[in-house]
């Protein structure tokens, strides 16, 4: 039987001679975006700021998660089965910290990134972490080598996805750390290395390692936590009632499925906590959900109503004599988003007002508006959680939810005039370039639904956003006759007026076809498209700047009307000009 070892270690031990981490070539590439990198940094900085000042060694430890390694005992070489994203991002963060420290201090950070060779011992530079073979040289040159970061920050040439993500995350870290005082950067580096911990799970056998990885991902902390909470809550119910409440609990878990049941508990925690989790789910329930002190009340008045609401919200299946379809339409568009931070205030509202469909309709129209504002303006996860927590608090305090900001009794469900301007301005810009695919696709689909009066729902696996005017039109093409000015092409190419929706994967060769061939062969099948947004294009005999400008203005007006952005723009401009 193969031995398994698991222990908790600080990063200064993780990034030491005890380990030589290697990312096997069969692993997927580095994939953390700026949102995940920002979340990591925000969490660490937020934890430090929430604790009393004092010596670093006296501060509480901060848990960063676990890593799974294939590693022989008493040998430093370790293949990373799970944890490469975290190890890579932490190395990048240390590299950025190093670049902003005094020159004499940099070697102290370098020791955590690589060990310099010794010509007398015949050794060469030894990197603590090696990425996949195709990414290793780039990572060594631009991240691990002292002095390489400046070149990484300035890179603008064509990059692979991994290289671009490393550059973007480096720019994020560089900007955030530059805003700190030198003493704060020092304290951050000390805290990361001394007080940030990882649980290291080591096994010498590849099959055992992947079995552990599978278990950790299929029955993670939250899943185990709901089992612990069940024992904690059901165990305090008098024996005469225990079987009945156990059936209620287990029937609810079975109805939702274990994964969604676990997710529900995370949302219940957020409804009460109104902040991002800082402890285990069990600990936060014990601290912030007082209802569990009376277990039968918790199950009857919290768990069961929220489970019913969660099932309806997740599947857009709310039922009522009136307004149900309109409510479910807003829910479908909320569920299309890549984040679910809107769910806690939705649960809080539905459990209070589920018998009032008109009130629900007004709420979900505004919740969709707020959520898409956060999507389009690229709000980070911490900002989203904070804003939606304020909405939950407004619901609990019975604030008038439709009172616009910034009045005294205003609701955080509404957008201020400035936020509406930001929303409008971002939509009006080159959204193909400024929004990720996960953000721009829901926006274009929402726009398409408005064009078709909301009557069409596209439930297909492959939906892509395509340019009409190509990004790089060929020399001698009709495109350059219609758009001879490079500045004008650059102005319109990524904006709403020049975008279409397809139910197929992007084809770079087809993207540059002439207009007639492109719309008849690429944009449609047999001259027909399922998207109202694309049908607009099929009827056009040519594609010129005035036509694109006109279409863009029409689409912007439609979005502005739907998300109520038009009248507030004048108000915001008045406020801006009136400000001294």
* pLDDT average, residue stretch 171-180: 95
244 and 203 in a common domain? no
The pair of structure tokens assigned to 290 is 């007082």
461 and 370 in a common domain? no
Q: Which run of H or E residues covers position 466?
A: strand 464-467
Q: Is the pLDDT of residue 579 over 50?
A: no
Q: How far apart are CA 86 and CA 64, in angstroms?
A: 8
Mean pLDDT of the chain: 87
26 and 106 in a common domain? yes
* pLDDT average, residue stretch 237-242: 86
Total count of domains within the chain: 3
- Strands of 357-396 (E only): list them: none
470 occurs within a structural domain: yes
179 and 149 in a common domain? yes
321 and 177 in a common domain? no
* pLDDT average, residue stretch 224-239: 77
579 occurs within a structural domain: no
491 occurs within a structural domain: yes
Per-residue pLDDT at 459: 64
* pLDDT average, residue stretch 410-415: 90
Q: Tell me: the pLDDT tens digits for 64-84?
A: 888 888 888 888 999 988 889
Per-residue pLDDT at 282: 81
The domain containing residue 237 runs over which residues? 221-414
Min mean pLDDT across 221-225, 296-300, 523-527 is at 221-225
Give the three-state DSSP class for 179: coil
Per-residue pLDDT at 402: 85
Q: Is the pLDDT of residue 577 over 70?
A: no
Q: Tell me: the pLDDT tens digits for 415-474?
A: 998 999 999 999 999 999 999 888 999 999 999 999 987 656 666 667 889 999 999 998
* pLDDT average, residue stretch 137-153: 94
Sequence-distant (6+) residues with CB within 8 A of 576 are none
Per-residue pLDDT at 223: 36
Per-residue pLDDT at 208: 66
407 and 324 in a common domain? yes
Are the C-beta atoms of residues 420 and 572 closer than 8 Å to each other?
A: yes
Q: Is the pLDDT of residue 25 over 80?
A: no
Per-residue pLDDT at 190: 92
Q: Tell me: the pLDDT tens digits for 278-316?
A: 877 888 898 999 999 999 999 999 999 999 999 999 999
Q: Is the pLDDT of residue 575 over 90?
A: no
Q: Is the pLDDT of residue 137 over 80?
A: yes
473 occurs within a structural domain: yes
Residue 3: pLDDT band with limits 50, 70, 90: low
Q: How far apart are CA 50 and CA 489, in angstroms?
A: 49
334 and 263 in a common domain? yes
Q: Tell me: the pLDDT tens digits for 461-513?
A: 678 899 999 999 989 999 999 999 999 999 999 999 999 998 866 666 677 88
- CA distances for 562 relative to 157, 325, 366, 557, angstroms: 39, 17, 10, 9
* Percentages of the chain per state (helix, strand, coil), in multiples of 5: 60, 10, 30
Q: How far apart are CA 125 and CA 107, in angstroms?
A: 13
- Strands of 141-271 (E only): list them: 196-203
* pLDDT average, residue stretch 363-367: 97
| % of the chain at pLDDT higher than 70 | 88
Residue 206: pLDDT band with limits 50, 70, 90: low
Domain-ending residue, one of 389, 414, 439: 414
461 and 402 in a common domain? no
The pair of structure tokens assigned to 576 is 């801006």
Q: How far apart are CA 27 and CA 349, in angstroms?
A: 43
| % of the chain at pLDDT higher than 90 | 58
- Which of the two residues, 17 and 222, has the higher pLDDT score? 17
Q: Is the pLDDT of residue 48 over 90?
A: no
112 occurs within a structural domain: yes
Domain-ending residue, one of 190, 218, 246: 218
Q: Is the pLDDT of residue 336 over 90?
A: yes
226 and 212 in a common domain? no
232 and 120 in a common domain? no
435 and 409 in a common domain? no
Q: Is the pLDDT of residue 527 over 70?
A: no
* pLDDT average, residue stretch 565-577: 58
Q: How many CA atoms lie within 13 A of 194 on its CB side?
A: 13
The pair of structure tokens assigned to 73 is 């005992």
DSSP 394-413: HHHTT--TTPPTTSTT--TT
* pLDDT average, residue stretch 313-323: 96
- CA distances for 121 relative to 76, 111, 118, 124, 158, angstroms: 19, 18, 5, 9, 40
Q: Is the pLDDT of residue 39 over 80?
A: yes
316 and 279 in a common domain? yes
């Amino acid at each position: 039987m193969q031995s398994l070892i698991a222990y908790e270690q600080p990063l200064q031990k993780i990034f030491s001679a005890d380990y030589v981490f290697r990312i096997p070539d069969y692993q997927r590439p580095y994939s953390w975006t700026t949102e995940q990198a920002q979340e990591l940094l925000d969490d660490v900085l937020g934890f430090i700021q929430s604790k009393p000042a004092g010596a670093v060694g006296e501060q509480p430890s901060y848990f960063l998660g676990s890593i799974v390694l294939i590693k022989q005992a008493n040998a430093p070489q370790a293949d990373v089965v799970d944890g490469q994203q975290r190890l890579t991002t932490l190395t990048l963060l240390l590299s950025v910290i190093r670049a902003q420290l005094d020159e004499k201090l940099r070697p102290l950070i370098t020791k955590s990134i690589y060990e310099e060779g010794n010509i007398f011992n015949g050794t060469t530079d030894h990197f603590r972490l090696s990425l996949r073979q195709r990414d290793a040289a780039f990572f060594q040159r631009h991240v691990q080598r002292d002095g390489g970061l400046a070149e990484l920050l300035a890179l603008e040439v064509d990059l692979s996805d991994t290289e671009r993500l490393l550059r973007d995350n480096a720019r994020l870290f560089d900007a955030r750390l530059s805003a700190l005082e030198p003493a704060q950067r020092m304290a951050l580096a000390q805290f990361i290395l001394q007080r940030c911990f990882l649980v290291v799970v080591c096994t010498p056998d590849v099959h055992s390692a992947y079995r552990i990885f599978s278990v950790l991902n299929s029955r993670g902390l939250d899943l185990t936590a709901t089992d612990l909470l069940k024992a904690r809550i059901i165990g305090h119910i008098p024996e005469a009632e225990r079987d009945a409440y156990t059936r209620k609990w287990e029937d609810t878990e079975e109805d939702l499925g274990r994964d969604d049941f676990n997710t529900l508990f995370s949302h219940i925690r957020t409804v009460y906590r109104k902040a991002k989790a800082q402890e285990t789910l069990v600990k936060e329930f014990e601290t912030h959900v007082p209802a569990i002190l009376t277990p039968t009340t918790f199950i009857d008045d919290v768990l069961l109503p929220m489970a019913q609401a969660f099932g309806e919200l997740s599947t857009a299946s709310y039922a009522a004599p009136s307004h149900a379809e309109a409510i479910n339409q807003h829910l479908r568009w909320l569920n299309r988003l890549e984040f679910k931070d809107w769910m806690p205030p939705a649960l809080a509202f539905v459990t209070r007002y589920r018998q009032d469909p008109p009130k629900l309709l007004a709420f979900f129209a505004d919740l969709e508006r707020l959520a898409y504002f956060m999507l389009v303006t690229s709000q980070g996860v911490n900002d989203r959680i904070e804003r939606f927590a304020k909405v939950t608090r407004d619901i609990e305090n019975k604030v008038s939810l439709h009172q616009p900001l910034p009045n005294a009794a205003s609701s955080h469900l509404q957008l201020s005039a400035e936020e509406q301007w930001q929303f409008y301005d971002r939509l009006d810009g080159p959204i193909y370039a400024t929004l990720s695919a996960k953000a721009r696709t829901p926006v274009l689909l929402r726009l398409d639904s408005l064009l078709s009066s909301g009557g069409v729902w596209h439930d297909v696996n492959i939906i892509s956003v395509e340019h009409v005017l190509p990004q790089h039109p060929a020399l001698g093409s009709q495109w350059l006759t219609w758009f001879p000015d490079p500045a004008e092409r650059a102005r319109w190419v990524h904006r709403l007026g020049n975008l279409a929706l397809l139910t197929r994967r992007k084809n770079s060769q087809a993207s540059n076809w002439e207009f007639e061939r492109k719309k008849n062969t690429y944009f449609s099948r047999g001259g027909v498209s399922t998207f109202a947004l694309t049908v607009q294009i099929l009827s056009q005999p040519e594609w010129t700047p005035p036509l694109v400008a006109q279409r863009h203005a029409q689409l912007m007006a439609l979005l502005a009307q739907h998300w109520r952005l038009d009248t507030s723009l004048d108000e915001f401009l008045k406020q801006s000009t009136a400000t001294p």
